[in-house]
Structure 1
């Protein structure tokens, strides 16, 4: 951290704001699952793992066992990151990066739990149905607009 001025450093008020944001309801909206994360000294392709699991038609017992392990490791990593955010002397930039990683880990944990309990597939199906309905409604609006404009008879 050499070369950082006092103005670059995270204030206690900013630290509290970031920590509060991690525990706020709907904190995860807009957060992405990290593409990779280092857990216990190994680089993990977290985004790919979540993507592969979410796209499986059916989970095996081995998949569920892996999900439980991933969640356990991610919770441990998330707690480490949160402790660092609470206690380490950080620049604003470092704090924001740590916050984003932590929020991404929490998002991944939520996604993995939803995959495991089957709600992820339900939500995906619900989204696809709603998207299809909206497309039909929008097409009808467009056709009505063209009729009203006199370009379609």
Structure 2
């Protein structure tokens, strides 16, 4: 593979928008084991949040996907593959990135819930400030007697 082709592939897999419009691969081979990646991701995403019992499974899947991504990226970086092999690896890497994005998105609360949580925290801080500023609460958290 020519150097400019290698650089194009690396730019493609590292581009932030590379996963836009890309589907999660149906299956992927990780460390010699075939994984039904799409069904796994959809099974986990179908729930509102990841149950505690599944958290380890999801974290392990993310670690394995990151490791597989690096393993597939290295031959491109080291220029150890043909153009065709590089294209196949790049497509697989982008599919892995798409799955990782979906799994990473599970950790973040939806924007509406996060906004409500933030508003409640801001209101609590403001009330505590007002109480202290008006002298209605001492430093120990108890009420000041008049």
Please state how far the C-alpha of 1:35 moved relative to its aligned partner: 1.1
Q: Secondary structure at the match of 2:19?
A: coil
1:54 matches 2:45: yes
Q: How many residues align?
A: 112
Gaps of 5+ in 2: 114-146
TM-score by length of 2: 0.69
Match of 2:89 among 93, 98, 102: 98
> For 1:57 and 1:15, how far apart are their aligned partners in 2?
41
TM-score by length of 1: 0.66
> For 1:63 and 1:95, how far apart are their aligned partners in 2?
34
Q: Secondary structure at the match of 1:115?
A: coil
The 8 Å contact of residues 54 and 115 in structure 1, kept in 2 or not, is answered as yes
Which one has a larger percent helix, Structure 1 or Structure 2?
1
Structure number, greater radius of gyration: 2
Gaps of 5+ in 1: 1-9, 123-153
Please state how far the C-alpha of 1:19 moved relative to its aligned partner: 0.3
Instruction: Kindly report structure 1 stretches of 4+ aligned residues shifted beyond 6 Å.
Output: none
Q: Secondary structure at the match of 1:38?
A: strand
